[in-house]
Amino acid sequence: MLKRVHFPSSLLPYLLVAPQVLITLIFFIWPASQALWQSMLIEDAFGLSTEFVWFENFQALMDDPLYLATFKRTAFFSLAVAFVSMSFSLILAGFADRVIRGATAYRTLLIWPYAIAPVLAGALWVFMFNPTLGIVAYGLEFLGYEWNHKVNGGQAMALVIMAAAWKQVAYNFLFYLAAMQSIPKSVVEAAAIDGAGPMKRFWTIIFPLISPTTFFLLVINMVYAFFDTFGIIHAVTQGGPANATTILVYKVFNDGFVGLDLGGSAAQSVILMALVIAMTVVQFRFIERKVEY
Amino acid sequence: MAKIILDNLKKSYGATEVLHGVNAEIEDGEFVVIVGPSGCGKSTLLRMIAGLETVTEGEIYIGERMVNGLEPADRDIAMVFQNYALYPHMSVRQNMAYGLKIRGLPRDEINRRVEEAAEILEIGDYLDRKPRQLSGGQRQRVAMGRAIVRQPEVFLFDEPLSNLDAKLRVQMRLEIRKLQKRLGVTAVYVTHDQVEAMTLGDRLMVLNGGYAEQFGTPIELYERPQTIFVAGFIGSPAMNFLPGRIEGDAVVLENGSKVPGGAGSGQVTLGVRPEHLVADDKGPIRLQVILAEQLGANTLVHGVLEGTDTQLVVSLAGIRAVTEGEVMGFSIAREQMHLFGPDGRRIN
């Protein structure tokens, strides 16, 4: 006797998943394996011959202080983006949760930036902060602060962080608002009767109760800052000045397509691939399981 | 401990008025139950006293203070919610200590009060558990504990027992009553359950459609309901209502039989409680039996007034055998007749 329900096998299910499998093979598995292969090759300066060198490219990266600096910079950049955009959206969601009149319009407006392509978002910020034409740069100069992100690395970093964070605010806002609205109203009212003012209620009741969402968003935002901010950086600073805004993905592009060091670039993208796999594991292992409070 | 005064209290949501001017004076240490069907505005009234809803018109006083503009935190009240509203991320101890910490009490004073409340409510064993590890009855106790550690002037209860099973409800009802007597704190309790209301309250306010129909002791409400609504709402099984008209010193029912005892004139509704009808073969109230419910201690006979479709229920002591279609006669003492005019108000 059969212990489980069995269906007669047929070709149909294979046909139905075939398009997806094909897409995955062509756009993911094939380039990924190419990257893996290339990361173990070194090409001569004229591109006439390639040599299989095992892990020499990785070895070279580990010994390269520039690469390690990029690593640190990326960590700082993604933490900063996550922090800035999450705290902004938390504040906005906190207010939206209290808004009664015009709530829908307010929410719709807040969601718009998410629909903007990264390059356009970057272009927007470039125009505003352009040292010679930008309205914000002009305003800052008026206040006695000299803005020139083309020279000042710190300012350049601040600018890409702002641009990247701004784009992500909408997404975070949606999740935070949903999380806040799922808290039973009476719990917040009980805290009000217990004597907690709005700020106290927020930090002692609401914030702890939405901590699962915070953790989820932290991972999502880190992944976003690591991988999806290429467009913004390319449009705003091209990784400059003096590599001040070169993060890992940007360096992959720069070394591979500008520096034409395909082996080194491939090795970097393999490392990034390992990172994104690790982050996805974290996300599935720890977030799918409910955070206990 | 404080008096509560509600002075012509009104509440509107937009153009819809849901409370139409409620007046009440609740004495210091009194247990008042607000009872009514769902949607009558009783929870809204309680939430207005708590400060969770704004007052559209009228005034609320707690003690000597007019509290209309005060935040819930400044009204010196504690509230027990229907769903308990415990803080899910805090242990039982932290739940109870939360309000005290915010008020900046010293640590040992907080501990002393929490331990004391835990002892009264017998929840000392669960102090370090989270709410989700507790049963419904235990959560209920924690919610009560959170209210009493604050030592407020007023307790507010918003249907606190409606999520418990029947047996636990009876037990908690008694405990709430005992606790309130012991602490002597003024309490306002909202429920839709008239038995809960009758057993708990020093006085009841019956609310219907945003109007306070009557405010009085349970016995007053039972013996002299001022409106048809109160008469039908208080008492179980519910009062019978027989349409009729006054002729001289008697009420003439639809089927022409005369019930002696009357007041006023014209069309009236005669209200008689099932337990006040006395079996009397020559009695004027003739009931045609449809079925009988045997409850052991008494028998509920359901039927119609002979010759009409008007429903009639009689409660007879002990076990009585009745047959379907049989006609039984009943009489009623004059002082147990309730007469209501066409506007639904009492006239005798």
* Shortest CA distance from B91: residue in chain A: A293
Spatial strand order of the sheet with B57-62 comes to B16-26, B4-13, B57-62, B65-66
The amino acid at residue A210 is I
* Shortest CA distance from B77: residue in chain A: A193
Would the pLDDT of A84 be above 90? yes
A190 vs B89: CB contact, 8 Å cut-off? no
A190 vs B81: CB contact, 8 Å cut-off? yes
Question: Are B219 and B187 in contact, with CB atoms under 8 Å apart?
Answer: no
- Cα–Cα–Cα angle for A64, A67, A71, nearest 5°? 140
Q: DSSP string covering chain A, please?
A: --SS------SHHHHHHHHHHHHHIIIIIHHHHHHHHHTTEEE-TTSS-EEE-TTHHHHHHHT-HHHHHHHHHHHHHHHHHHHHHHHHHHHHHHHHHH--TTHHHHHHHHHGGGGS-HHHHHHHHHHHH-TTT-HHHHHHHHTT----TTT-HHHHHHHHHHHHHHHHHHHHHHHHHHHHHTS-HHHHHHHHHTT--HHHHIIIIIHHHTHHHHHHHHHHHHHHHHHTTHHHHHHHTTT-STTTT--HHHHHHIIIIIS--HHHHHHHHHHHHHHHHHHHHHIIIIISSPPP-
Helix axes B136-149, B92-102, angle to 10 degrees: 20
A193 vs B87: CB contact, 8 Å cut-off? no
A187 vs B87: CB contact, 8 Å cut-off? yes
B73 vs A196: CB contact, 8 Å cut-off? yes
CB contacts of A200 in chain B (<8 Å) are 102
Please report, for chain A, the start and end positions of each structural domain, with discontinuous segments joined by +: 57-288
ipTM surpasses 0.90? no
* CA–CA separation, A127 and A119 (whole Å): 12
Helix axes A262-282, A211-227, angle to 10 degrees: 170
> Is A146 at the interface with chain B, CB within 8 A?
no
Would the pLDDT of A292 be above 60? no
R_g over Cα of chain B:
24
* CA–CA separation, B60 and B284 (whole Å): 50
Q: Given this model, what pLDDT does residue A123 score?
A: 85
> Is B146 at the interface with chain A, CB within 8 A?
yes
Q: Given this model, what pLDDT does residue A4 score?
A: 66
| Average per-residue pLDDT for chain A | 83
CA distances to B49, B200, B299 from B35, rounded to whole Å, are 15, 11, 28
> Is A98 at the interface with chain B, CB within 8 A?
no
> Is A186 at the interface with chain B, CB within 8 A?
yes
Would the pLDDT of A1 be above 60? no
> Is A123 at the interface with chain B, CB within 8 A?
no
> Is A189 at the interface with chain B, CB within 8 A?
yes
Q: Given this model, what pLDDT does residue A266 score?
A: 84
Tell me the pLDDT tens digit for each residue of A196-240.
888 889 999 999 999 888 988 988 898 888 888 888 888 888 877
Q: Given this model, what pLDDT does residue B80 score?
A: 92
- Out of B78, B88, B89, name the one closest to residue A193 (CB): B78
Q: Report the run of H or E that residue B319 belongs to, with start and end.
A: none
Q: How far away is chain B from the Cα of A209, in angstroms, using its nearest Cα?
A: 7
Would the pLDDT of A36 be above 90? no
* Shortest CA distance from A184: residue in chain B: B85
Collect all residues with Cβ–Cβ distance below 8 Å to A135 and sequence separation of at least 6: A128
pLDDT of chain B, 348 residues: tens digit per residue: 588 999 889 999 888 889 898 899 999 989 999 999 888 889 999 999 999 998 999 999 998 889 888 888 888 899 999 888 999 999 999 999 999 999 889 999 999 999 988 988 888 888 999 999 998 888 988 999 999 898 888 999 999 888 888 888 888 888 888 888 888 899 999 999 888 899 899 999 999 988 899 999 999 999 999 999 999 999 888 999 999 988 888 888 888 888 887 777 788 999 999 999 998 888 889 999 999 998 888 999 999 998 888 999 999 988 888 888 889 999 998 889 999 988 888 987
The beta-carbon contacts of A211-214 under 8 Å, at least 24 apart in sequence, are A211/A291, A211/A293, A212/A179, A212/A287, A212/A290, A212/A291, A212/A293, A213/A175, A213/A176, A213/A178, A213/A179, A214/A86
Torsion angle, alpha carbons of A282, A284, A286, A292, to 10: 160
Q: Given this model, what pLDDT does residue A121 score?
A: 82
Q: Report the run of H or E that residue B123 belongs to, with start and end.
A: none
CB contacts of B77 in chain A (<8 Å) are 193
Total Cβ atoms within 10 A of residue A175? 18
Helix ranges (DSSP H) in chain B: 42-50, 92-102, 107-121, 136-149, 166-183, 194-200, 218-223, 228-233
CB contacts of A195 in chain B (<8 Å) are 73, 99, 102-103
Fold (topology level) of A57-288: MetI-like fold (1.10.3720)
Q: Closest Cα to residue A56, out of A38, A36, A40?
A: A40
Q: Given this model, what pLDDT does residue A280 score?
A: 81
* CA–CA separation, B26 and B200 (whole Å): 15
CA-based end-to-end distance of chain B = 38
Tell me the pLDDT tens digit for each residue of A49-82.
777 778 777 877 788 888 888 888 889 999 999 9
